[in-house]
Structure 1
Amino acid sequence: MFDVDPAIRDSLRPHGLAVTRETDEAGADRFAVVGRTWAFKDRLKQLQARFDGSRKAWLLASEDALRSFAEGIGATGPGLAEAPAGDPDKGAGWGSKHYHGHRDGLRTRFAEARDEGALADYELLELLLFFSVYRRDTKPIAKALIARFGSLGGVLAAAPERYGEVFGLDPQAVDEQRRAQHDEDLRFTQILLKAVHHLMRRTLKEELKDRPLIGSWSALIDYLSVTMSHEGTEHFRLLFLDRKNILLRDEVQSRGTVDHTPLYPREVLKRCLDLDAAAIIMVHNHPSGDPTPSKADVEMNKEVVALLGAAGIEVHDHVIVGKGKHLSFRTQRLI
């Protein structure tokens, strides 16, 4: 086995690339580059590399070519780098001048906007997708995501694996390089959008820390709406409070179906005693979007209030979260 210059090997590794040295059929040295090569295929082609589809490897004919390749990508850090502009004569395809001009224009509009309504919802999502989608027009992807999941909030709250439903690639109709690029785009998009969703939830939850929850009702509803309004199944959440109504713990107690989730009053009491909670706020969502309580909701609420009341623990409220609206049992005089 022939060795490869360690400096070259180390410079390729951060980009998800590996290289081996071997001999070709004529006994001459050559170098096989494997890994996330799709991002660098144009550079490899410039160096007269040949793609071996059976091994998913690019074959370089000399160490000088390999060194030139490594030096050429060495200045680019690993991660989500946008593709260079392509050939302007190739139209609005992958990496073309067309979509680069569009991206620059959208960035400029966002940077110069004087109010948050300057861009449509799909344009904000499109702008975000610039950081995860390589060499592809993000406008149709952004529009398709919002159409499929109903809103920006629905997109961010969707299960990551569902994003693949709108990425529009037939795995049987494209070459290996394009398919690998599509898979990377999808993976980065899944990570990016879920990270944004988690950031939103954590930012809103910061407004609830170390302050009486009863006096922070607007902030609480904002947090619950982002956290629960787009869930596809019912979740039951309990907010445990101390004697000053400061949040002790925020816990999902159960997950159910599209129209029901079980909650066991004795388990609620046990958890309150474990945490030494003085009060709770009960919360659950209605995936249908309508927060009107069912008869079962009202009966279960009465059971919990009665059991906790006997133990000196107050139920401040029971909130049902719908899509864009909510209902308070206390406001409706159901507590």
Structure 2
Amino acid sequence: MRARFLDSAGAGIPDYEILELILFGVFRNGDTKPLAKALVSEFGSLAAVLAAPVERLGKVPGCGDAAIAALKVTREAGLRMLQAEAKARPALSNWQALLDYCRAVLQHEQIEQFRILFLDRKNQVIADEQQQRGTVDHTPVYPREVVKRALELNAAALILVHNHPSGDPTPSRGDIEMTREVAKAAATMGIAVHDHLIIGRNGHTSFREKGLIG
């Protein structure tokens, strides 16, 4: 399997076999296929397995601390690679890389999370931070706290990002009102809000593309 993976650079290799290879470092003398297939069956895909909460992974028979650590290290390595690509060039001219990173971070999150990408005057990402973590369908956002943090980082612009665990990225009335409040508060300090991205399992919504932000 390892030779086949190297020969194909991973092309055409099913999710459960990728998991087998990841888990082989943990179970060097055992068969990793049953656990790999059980994980894909439980969570649906390789990406969902890697993003699954530790407590849920631990409920899959045979998935102990060492296996969970291997899965989480793999995901973290992938996220850091995507983050580096997103930061490599100004955000507005590197939009697909930025979107790929945001989707990787939030697409499979089961709790709503509000993040902010802080940009400098050249629209280079200078920080990516989780500001709030809420419930399955709500995250409280405080415009003054957003602006305060932007000033601390000397940011010139922001991109707001949050997920909808339901999978549907359609903005709610509350999402729209919150975005306008943040944009208004930021504008008083000369800080632009370039966009607000809502990430769902079934896609994403850009407020700027929808005309919901000026």
Instruction: Give the TM bin, normalised by the shorter chain.
Output: over 0.9
Deviation at 1:109, TM superposition (A): 2.5
Alignment of 1:150-299 (within 5 A): 150-168=44-62, 186-299=64-177
Residue type matched to 2:175 in 1? D
Once residues 246 and 117 of structure 1 are traced to their aligned partners in structure 2, the CA distance between those partners, rounded to angstroms, is 33
Whether the 8 Å CA contact 2:161–2:197 is kept in 1: the answer is: yes
Give the whole-Å Cα distance in 1 for the aligned partners of 2:19 and 2:93.
34
Paired with 1:134 and 1:111, the residues of 2 have a C-alpha distance of 19
Residue 179 (structure 2) aligns with: 301
**Residue type of the partner of 2:165?**
P
Shift in CA distance, 108/272, structure 1 to aligned 2, threshold 3 Å: closer
1:316 counterpart = 2:194: yes
The alignment's C-alpha RMSD in Å is 1.5
Q: Distance in 2 between matches of 1:119 and 1:238?
A: 35
Q: Does 1:108 align with 2:10?
A: no
Q: After the TM superposition, which parts of structure 1 deviate over 6 Å for at least 4 consecutive aligned residues?
A: none
Q: Secondary structure at the match of 1:108?
A: helix
Offset, 1:288: 1.0
For residues 206 and 275 of structure 1, the distance between their equivalents in structure 2, rounded to whole angstroms, comes to 19
The answer as to whether partners of 2:40 and 2:46 remain within 8 angstroms in 1 is yes
Deviation at 1:274, TM superposition (A): 1.4
Q: Distance in 2 between matches of 1:210 and 1:133?
A: 37
SS of structure 1 residue aligned to 2:86: coil
Q: Deviations over 1:221-252 (max 9, x none)?
A: 11111111111100000111111111111110
| 8 A Cα contact 1:225 1:324, kept in partner | no
1:234 touches 1:261 (CA, 8 Å); kept in 2? yes
> How many angstroms does 1:187 deviate by?
2.0
- What amino acid does structure 1 have at the position aligned with 2:160? M
Distance 1:265 1:136, change over 3 A: same
Amino acid at match of 1:111: L
Q: Is the contact between residue 117 and residue 159 of structure 2 (CA under 8 Å) also seen in structure 1?
A: yes
User: Which amino acid in structure 1 is aligned with residue 191 of structure 2?
Assistant: I
CA distance in 2, matches of 1:132, 1:158: 19
**Identical-residue share of aligned pairs (%):** 53
Q: What residue number does 1:121 align with?
A: 15
Mapped to 2, the partners of 1:108 and 1:214 lie a distance apart of 40
C-alpha deviation, 1:120, in angstroms:
1.0
1:22-46 deviation per Cα after TM superposition (whole angstroms, max 9, x unaligned): xxxxxxxxxxxxxxxxxxxxxxxxx
The gaps in structure 2 that reach 5 residues or longer are: none
Extract unaligned runs of 5+ from structure 1: 1-105, 169-184
**2:207 pairs with 306, 309, 329, which one?**
329
> Contact conserved, 2:156 with 2:191, CA < 8 A, in 1?
yes
1:133 to 1:162, Cα distance in 2 relative to 1, 3 A: farther
- Report if the CA contact (8 A) 2:168-2:202 is conserved: no
In 2, the alpha carbon distance for the partners of 1:263 and 1:121 equals 37
- Give the match for residue 147 of structure 1: 41
Please state if 1:138 is matched with 2:16: no
Contact map agreement 2:169 2:202 (CA 8 A) in 1: no
Q: Distance in 1 between the 2:170 and 2:88 partners? A: 31
Which structure's relative contact order is higher, taking Cα pairs within 8 Å and 6+ residues apart?
Answer: 2
Q: Distance in 2 between matches of 1:203 and 1:224?
A: 12
Relative to the length of structure 2, the TM-score reads 0.94
More divergent stretch after superposition (125-134 vs 191-200): 125-134
8 Å contact 2:114–2:130 — kept in the other structure? yes
Taking structure 1 as the reference length, what is the TM-score of the superposition? 0.61
Separation of aligned partners in 2, 1:325 and 1:120 = 22
